């Protein structure tokens, strides 16, 4: 069911965390993986790991919020591989978390640019080639934040982008259905990854509302966060024919964490 032989997949933010795990899973299933990131060293390592395991992969670098860079990346991908079937729009940042009257327009714009504009540009440049391929799967990595959970103080910009990604998936599922292009959004909870490394926080105590959560606030795992590979398995399912009638769906993968918050 998860055989992706002959399919070409683009994974953004593939240098670490969920993106890396998704790229490795797709490569193991037989897809030709274009692993993309802004950091060449990390993404080269991802591609090498896939190739060392007997798969096919190419590393490419670009800033997803840069229109010209994303256009060139997709054109280069098509020139080399001739088609595109799967898109995993994963690249994103947590950005600055601060009270709304403290959050600067520049900080707001950066989070919106990377998370929402970056997702838009990835899909914008990919869709014509998915249409030419006769269909495909777009998988957007969103979050429980902004979709089920609103308890992180100061996370307004981040939450808005994550909610926007779900709305984008649902809107595009309708628009692209006639082209046999499925669009879904994965909403992870706490996952062992490096995204917290690009989180900045300032004066968040001003926006915090004290809440007492149950002990071990991830019921399925006794409070332990999920692994990037857990999300990668869901990416693989949504990329495969096993999910052929699933589109426009936000899927929460959080061990029931968001149901407590």
Instruction: Please answer whether residues 96 and 111 qualify as being in contact, where contact means their C-beta atoms are separated by less than 8 angstroms.
Output: yes
Beta-sheet pairing, 86-89 with 8-12: parallel
Round to whole Å and give the CA distance between 75 and 84: 10
Confirm whether 120 is a catalytic residue: no
Measured torsion, CA atoms of residues 156, 190, 35, 3, in degrees rounded to the nearest 10? -130
Region of residue 19 (phi > 0: left; psi between -120 and 50: alpha; otherwise: beta): alpha
Q: Report the distance separating Cα 206 and Cα 47, nearest Å.
A: 43
Annotated catalytic residue within 158, 159, 164, 207:
158
CA angle 32, 38, 39 (to 5 degrees): 90
What single-letter DSSP state applies at residue 1?
-
Q: Looking at the annotation, which residues are catalytic? A: 158
């Amino acid at each position: 069911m998860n055989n992706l032989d002959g399919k070409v997949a683009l994974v953004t933010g593939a240098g670490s965390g969920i993106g890396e795990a998704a790229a490795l899973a797709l490569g193991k299933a037989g897809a030709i993986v274009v692993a993309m990131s802004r950091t060449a060293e990390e993404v080269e390592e991802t591609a090498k790991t896939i190739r060392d395991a007997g798969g096919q992969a190419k590393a490419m670098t670009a800033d997803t919020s840069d229109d010209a860079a994303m256009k060139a990346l997709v054109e280069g991908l098509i020139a080399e591989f001739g088609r595109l079937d799967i898109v995993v729009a994963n690249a994103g940042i947590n950005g600055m978390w601060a009270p709304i009257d403290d959050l600067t327009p520049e900080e707001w714009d950066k989070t919106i640019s990377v998370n929402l504009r970056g997702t838009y540009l990835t899909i914008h440049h990919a869709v014509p080639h998915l249409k030419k391929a006769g269909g495909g799967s777009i998988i957007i990595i969103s979050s429980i934040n902004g979709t089920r959970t609103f308890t992180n103080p100061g996370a307004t910009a981040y939450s808005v982008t994550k909610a926007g990604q779900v709305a984008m998936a649902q809107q595009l599922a309708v628009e692209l259905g006639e082209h046999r292009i499925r669009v879904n959004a994965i909403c992870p909870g706490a996952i062992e990854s490096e995204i917290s490394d690009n989180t900045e926080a300032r004066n968040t105590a001003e926006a915090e509302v004290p809440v007492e959560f149950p002990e071990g606030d991830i019921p399925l795992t006794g409070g332990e966060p999920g692994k990037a590979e857990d999300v990668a398995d869901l990416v693989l399912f949504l990329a495969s024919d096993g999910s052929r009638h699933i589109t426009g769906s936000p899927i929460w993968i959080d061990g029931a964490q968001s149901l407590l918050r």
